[in-house]
């Protein structure tokens, strides 16, 4: 099975049902600008998706690729930034994917999201340590 390398996280923004392409672009740019100071981040198009990653319909989702290589463990900070951003935006959910493991952030309380995020990060880190 092809998956994203463990040092890269695919972030997919699921916009509101009535969002148009311009709104999706604005959401993607906004999240990009918030994440850029924390770690290397790049915009993703269908042609640039890593092998094994699934492209979502460009009309409903924007995608970013985060690089965790030589970032000193900023995954927790990046996910916290994404959660805070999502609460301020018109985004229905965010899907994070690393090493074939996906986490969708939506409709949960902040406490529930924190617990889910930490469980996901712990699982990803444990799998990376086993390699």
In a domain, 3, yes or no: no
What domain count does the chain have?
A: 1
In a domain, 122, yes or no: yes
pTM of the predicted protein model: 0.73
**What residue numbers bound the domain in which 20 lies?**
8-129
Residue-level pLDDT at 48: 52
The residue ranges of DSSP E strands in 6-46, in sequence order, are: 8-15, 41-43
In a domain, 94, yes or no: yes
Residue-level pLDDT at 1: 41
Q: What is the CATH number of the domain that holds 125?
A: 3.30.70.260
Please, what is the average pLDDT of the chain? 77
For the segment 61-72, the average pLDDT, to the nearest whole number, is 75
How far is it, in rounded angstroms, from Cα 124 to Cα 121? 5
Cβ–Cβ under 8 Å, residues 79 and 86? no
Residue 17 has pLDDT above 60, yes or no: yes
Question: Strand 91-98 relative to strand 8-15: parallel, antiparallel, unpaired?
Answer: antiparallel
User: 41-66: per-residue pLDDT in tens?
Assistant: 988 866 555 555 555 544 335 889 88
In a domain, 1, yes or no: no
In a domain, 112, yes or no: yes
Provide the pLDDT confidence category of residue 30 given band limits of 50, 70 and 90.
Answer: very high
Residue-level pLDDT at 113: 75
């Amino acid at each position: 099975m092809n998956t994203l390398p463990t040092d890269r996280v695919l972030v997919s923004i699921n916009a509101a049902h009535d969002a148009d392409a311009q709104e999706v672009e604005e959401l993607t740019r906004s999240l990009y600008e918030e994440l850029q100071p924390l770690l290397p981040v790049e915009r993703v198009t269908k042609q640039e998706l890593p092998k094994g990653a699934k492209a979502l319909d460009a009309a409903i989702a924007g995608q970013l690729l985060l690089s965790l290589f030589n970032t000193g463990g900023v995954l927790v900070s990046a996910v916290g930034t994404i959660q805070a951003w999502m609460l301020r935006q018109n985004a229905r959910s965010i899907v994070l994917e690393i090493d074939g493991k996906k986490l969708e952030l939506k409709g949960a309380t902040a406490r529930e999201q924190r617990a889910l995020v930490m469980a996901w990060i712990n699982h990803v880190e444990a799998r990376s340590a086993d390699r």
